[in-house]
Amino acid sequence: MPKPRPLLRAAAELLNAANGVQPLARDGYPTIPVFAFGWPTSELSPLYMAGSMADAVRRGIRGDFRGPRGRIALGLTAVAWALLYLIHRRNVASQPHFEEPLRDVLGDDYQEIAEKAKSSRRRYFGVFPNEVIRRRYVEKAGTVQYGPLRVNRADIWRRPDLPRDGKAPVLLQVPGGAWAIGMRKPQSYPLMSHLADHGWICVSIDYRVSPRNTWPDHIVDVKRALAWIKEHIAEYGGDPDFVAITGGSAGGHLSSLAALTADDPQFQPGFEDADTSVVAAVPVYGRYDWVSAQGSGRREFLAFLQKFVVKKPVTRNRQVYVDASPTHRLRADAPPFFILHGQDDSIIPVPEGREFAEALKEVSTSPVVYAEIPYAQHAFDFYYGSPRAHYTAQAIETFLSWVMATRRSESADRPTSPVRAS
């Protein structure tokens, strides 16, 4: 049996809690383990604290905290608990940082306007993670092939009681994973289950990833999924005229690029005439610039793109990187955007989201909302039970409902053409 090392263990717990309070590295390759350990701690601190306390009781009964070293270990562990409690209180208090940006851009009455487009909610109780919650909304026949390749698979999330002849709003969810994973399971489950409860249809896709595949295969698949939705989603009760798009990390990049390149034949080989427009985009902690080498972690990021994703040097293929950068594809007729980013993101530093939002606001005639969430790490919306995941789902649903209500109002106010007498 290994010898107990209470002091070493307590120091590790304290270090992990401190990393959850504030990332211990924000530049270069150390950000990867900092994120890997700090992300679960920063979003599920009550579970960590409960587990640590239960284990401390077990070790105390065993005698691990006897003697001077043991008492120091117990003190360090107690400090770690205090930090975990601080993390949780921060999470609970973060709701205004999701709501206030919406109010600032959309107006004080944005929630009342959004309510006009919201459908009744069928409330479920309890928390059911991953595959259990997926099976609640995705029927066996709801996993479809949206393109010709084996990887072109999608899950259609919908309430079982949703009418097939209805016109439910639709959201395309593009998974993240550094353009190298792209798996639809289990990303954005809190958001999609929340929207499905409110009568939405969500389409979550797989797409081609690197290094096996090369850019622009990734965005081509996203565009192909949009084309499939426009043609087939009515069969599932969805409205092909109201399709929004979202995604986190690499999915934030792909969703924003798709929204800014509607019907662009460059990314629609073989289906150039297909409608790939969206009514709104919600990129979350995304990458928006594939060109600049200035800023924290930028050199490592460009090296990764050149070696694994684009597989071409940026110096001799600059236009490829420009065309792949949402920040270089800004347009006045862009759809409404809701951009979210965490201040403590150690994978994609917050200036990336902030600068993209500022640049888009200068160009777009549509609303551009930017929410910067204090103390939030990368992937802050991933876990069930995380307050930030709950607030994210609520804010996105409210924003998209506002877009829908506004479009309906504008359509109702639009004068109809007079009928000529024959």
Residue whose tokens read 């940006």: 101
Non-local CB neighbours of 38 within 8 Å, separated by 6+ positions: 16, 19, 20, 23, 24, 346, 377
Do residues 19 and 37 lie in contact, with contact meaning Cβ atoms separated by under 8 Å? Answer: yes
CA distance 334 to 223: 16
Active site residue 108: no
What ranges in 22-142 are assigned the alpha helix state H? 31-43, 45-62, 67-92, 95-106, 110-115, 130-137
Q: What is the side-by-side order of every strand in the sheet holding 368-373?
A: 143-145, 153-157, 201-205, 168-174, 238-248, 281-284, 337-342, 368-373
State the catalytic residue, choosing from 52, 204, 249, 256: 249
Active site residue 188: no
Active site residue 241: no
Non-local CB neighbours of 82 within 8 Å, separated by 6+ positions: none
Beta-ladder partners of 145: 153
CA distance 273 to 226: 12
CA distance 326 to 359: 10
Give the up-direction half-sphere exposure of residue 20: CA atoms within 13 A in the CB hemisphere.
30
State the catalytic residue, choosing from 97, 218, 341, 378: 378
Kindly report the CA angle at 290 between 288 and 294, in degrees rounded to 5? 95
Residue whose tokens read 């969500």: 202
Residue 404 exposed, middle or buried by CB count within 10 Å (0-12, 13-18, 19+): buried
Beta strands 337-342; 281-284: pairing state: parallel
* C-alpha distances in Å from residue 89, one per residue of 83, 379, 388: 10, 19, 11
Kindly report the CA angle at 316 between 312 and 320, in degrees rounded to 5? 60
Do residues 228 and 209 lie in contact, with contact meaning Cβ atoms separated by under 8 Å? Answer: no
Residues across the chain: 422
For the CA atoms of 21, 381, 133, 173, what is the dihedral angle to 10 degrees?
Answer: -160
CA distance 191 to 384: 10
State the catalytic residue, choosing from 345, 364, 381, 390: 345
Backbone angles phi, psi at 340, to 5 degrees: -120, 140
Q: Which residues are catalytic?
A: 249, 345, 378
